[in-house]
Amino acid sequence: MTYKLTTAQAIVRFLKAQYLERDGKGQAFFAGCFGIFGHGNVAGIGQALQENLDFPYYLCRNEQAMVHTAAAFAKMSNRLRGLVCTSSIGPGATNMVTGAAGATINRLPVLLLPGDVFARRNVAPVLQQLESQSTQDISVNDCFRPVSRYWDRIQRPEQILTALPEALRVLTSPAETGAVTIALPQDVQAEAFDFPVEFFQQRTWVIHRLRADAAMVALAARWIQSAKHPLIIAGGGVIYSGATRQLASFATQTGIPVSETQAGKGSLAFDHPQCVGAIGVTGTAAANRIAREADLVLGIGTRYSDFTTASVTAFQNPGVRFININVAEFDAYKHASLPLVGDAAVTIEELDKLLGAHRVDEFYRQEIARLRAEWDSEVDRIYNRRVGPPLSQGEVIGVLNAALEPKDVVVCAAGSLPGDLHKLWRSRDPKGYHLDYGYSCMGYEIAGGLGVKMADPSREVYVLVGDGSYLMMAQEIVTALQEHVKLNIILLDNHGFSSIGGLSRACGSGGFGTEYRFRDGGLTGAPIPVDFAANAASLGAQVVRAKTREELAGAVSNLKAGNRTSVIVVETDYNERIPGYDSWWDVPIAEVSAMESVQQARQRYAEARKREQFYWPSRQ
């Protein structure tokens, strides 16, 4: 038996039948489709969505933003649900490339269906088609190849019979997931074919909890037992696996301190006795000092980005060894580690059983407690320091941390805010801290907040966004209003790119080109008086201006009683900085310069680079 359907109709019907199951709990994988229609998809995917109103369609304002929303939705859902994004050909498609890169880098499942040029070619070049003199088998959608975990172009309707199952295999794989791109020529979308009915029957993709090799786990346990100063680095894999309970028990039993990456923040509650907070470039003094002396690093679900390792300077013990628990073999083998290729939750449980009553010695436990106490005092100092108005960024974070409930979600992505949040935010729930810091994409914040709230409407969502990122992609406020999705947006106005401005000064460049000023010879004139409150109000948001701590605290309190998207605009000090706390980041400085400040910065850079580790010898 067959169904005669267009390619687009068959795709939508297939997507509706895909389910995912983990630990015996199942649900539909796709929660709907975001899209903007143009000539490349309006009569194909657009028409198919119109016939399938039980598969929700969401109109967004920018194609990049809708991919960010889909990625945030998947992240908040622990990668167990996803959204589809469709665009027209040309600029609509290439607008999605940035979002695709972010999803793939952050290992988040997003299905992209960009329209494409005619497969039959006779009407080429169509509007928005990129022509090539060397081949006719190319379009702008080939740009998605390096930023997709799976890529295909459908030239005939029957090709979806093999392409779509492969796409779902990748999307539902904990190890391989990321952006999946299926390019759809606009003529093929509208072509009909007799599809077998079996293609549209419900299919459940089961997430198995992969177990690591038993001998390797036993060896890892012996390494842990022999270590004097072990350290755990908890990455996003801990949260995606649902392994936070197992990690808390393991840390309590062994006494091993736990540091957190950006994606792993919230793996332990901030007040857990073994939680030493953020690690690396944006890390705490406690975590970074422990990392420096660690003789064993147990990485769980981390890919060891340069921020996590402080550009491979964080670990200075010459005998340090690494054990990596990861579902992705690629990450498990990093740093010449003992690789435990497996699910975080079950591997931690197996290690816990093998270690039995093993605990780190009393001296190390006391050192951990001392460093934790010192760090808590430092956070209190920053939270309570009176700088303004304008307020410091640390003050704003402190006001918010005091006002938000444990299950409320803070969303951020780019600038200096993520680093300060990583250090200072006191997490009390595994899903209460949502950052895009794999790609650190400006413009993610509001779109990401929309995806977080769609994934869990029961939570209050607070979007923290700097003025630079806001100006790049504020328009999804309109989408939030359209969908009756309430977002609480705190917009920090520091008159420019504060993060990169600070980095520029550290590099000897004096903040060149990082402030919003009128041109006066260079961009050195008076500050440009952008009225962010008026801008947000023009998009339909309720707006409050806050100049003092008291005004900010009152405005945040009032947000909870509201029922629509609101924006609080608060001016912050451009130059006020949170310290680096024993960390360093490799940003190359000009080797030759006429500027004395750059020459001095180069000298400091050359000295710091000496601590970088080029090669980790195998310790097995």
pTM above 0.85, yes or no: yes
> Given a cut of 80, is residue 382 above it in pLDDT?
yes
- The phi, psi pair for 303, rounded to 5°, reads -105, 5
Tokens of 134: 């060397």
- Is beta strand 296-300 parallel, antiparallel or unpaired with respect to 230-234? parallel
**Residue 619 pLDDT:** 67
Poorest-pLDDT segment among 13-27, 217-231, 519-533: 519-533
Please give the average per-residue pLDDT across 34-49, as a whole number. 97
Which conformational region is residue 373 in: left (phi greater than 0), alpha (psi within -120 to 50 degrees), or beta?
alpha
Long-range contacts of 495-499 (CB under 8 A, 24+ apart): 495/467, 495/527, 495/528, 495/574, 496/467, 496/468, 496/574, 497/415, 497/466, 497/468, 498/393, 498/415, 498/416, 498/466, 498/468, 498/572, 498/574, 499/414, 499/415, 499/416, 499/417, 499/419, 499/466
CATH architecture of 385-571: 3-Layer(aba) Sandwich (3.40)
| Residue whose tokens read 């000092």 | 289
Identify the CA nearest to 431 among candidates 236, 148, 150. Answer: 236
Tell me the C-alpha distance between 549 and 554, whole Å: 9
- pLDDT band, very low/low/confident/very high, at 156 (cuts 50, 70, 90): very high
**Range of weakest confidence among 96-110, 294-308, 517-531:** 517-531
CA distances from 495 to 291, 408, 469, 502, 542 (A): 36, 28, 12, 13, 22
pLDDT (tens digit per residue) in 334-357: 998 999 999 999 999 999 999 999
- pLDDT band at residue 523 using 50, 70 and 90 as cut-offs: confident
Contacts of 303 (CB under 8 A, 6+ apart): 235, 326, 328, 331, 334
CA angle, residues 19, 157, 71, in degrees to nearest 5: 40
- Show the beta-strand stretches assigned E in 290-330: 296-300, 321-326
Q: Show the DSSP H helices in 43-172 as ranges.
A: 45-50, 63-76, 91-94, 96-105, 160-171
- Report angle CA 141, 144, 150 to the nearest 5 degrees: 115
Measured between alpha carbons, how far is 87 from 96 in angstroms, rounded to an integer? 8
pLDDT of residue 92: 96
Query: CB under 8 Å to 392, separation ≥6 — which residues?
Result: 382, 385, 572, 573, 576
| Confidence at residue 386, expressed as pLDDT on a 0 to 100 scale | 83
Nearest CA to 180 out of 263, 237, 116, 112 is that of 112
State residue 304's pLDDT score. 97
Residue 497's pLDDT is what? Answer: 87
In the chain, where are the structural domains located?
Answer: 2-207, 214-374, 385-571
Whether the domain at 214-374 and the domain at 385-571 fall into the same CATH topology: yes
Check if the beta carbon of residue 192 is closer than 8 Å to that of residue 4. Answer: yes
- 2-207 maps to which CATH number? 3.40.50.970
Q: Tell me the C-alpha distance between 503 and 16, whole Å.
A: 47
* In 456-584, alpha helices (H): 467-472, 476-482, 498-506, 532-538, 549-561
Tell me which residue of 484, 467, 435, 449 sits closest to 536, measured CA to CA: 467
Cis link prior to 146 (omega < 30° from 0)? Answer: no
3-class SS of residue 323: strand
pLDDT tens-digit series, residues 221-250 = 999 999 999 999 999 999 999 999 999 999
Rounded Cα distance, 418 and 498, in Å? 12
pLDDT at residue 282, rounded to an integer: 96
CA distance 325 to 347: 7
Measured distance CA(257)–CA(147) in Å, rounded: 35
Closest C-alpha to 586, from 307, 326, 333, 345 = 307
Across the range 243-271, mean pLDDT stands at 98
Q: 202-211, 381-390, 455-464: which range is least confident on average? A: 381-390
- How confident is the model at residue 150, as a pLDDT? 98
The CATH homologous superfamily for domain 214-374 is TPP-binding domain (3.40.50.1220)
What are 89-124's pLDDT values in tens digits? 999 999 999 999 999 999 999 999 999 999 999 999
Rounded mean pLDDT, 69-75: 98
CA distance 450 to 411: 10
C-alpha angle 240-447-281 in degrees, rounded to nearest 5: 60
Mean pLDDT over residues 599-608, rounded? 94
DSSP, residue by residue, 351-364: HHHHHTT----HHH
Residues present in the chain in total: 620
- Give the DSSP letter of residue 262: T
User: What phi and psi values does residue 229 have, to the nearest 5 degrees?
Assistant: -135, 65
Residues 488 and 486: their CA atoms lie apart, in Å, by 7
- Residue 90 is which amino acid? G
**Average pLDDT, whole number, for the chain?**
95
Residue 320 token pair:
């340090």
Band (pLDDT 50/70/90 cuts) for residue 425 is: very high
Q: How does strand 2-6 pair with strand 192-196?
A: antiparallel
Please tell me the predicted confidence (pLDDT) of residue 620. 67
How far apart CA 327 and CA 176 sit, in angstroms, is: 9
Q: Which residues pair with 546 in a beta bridge?
A: 570
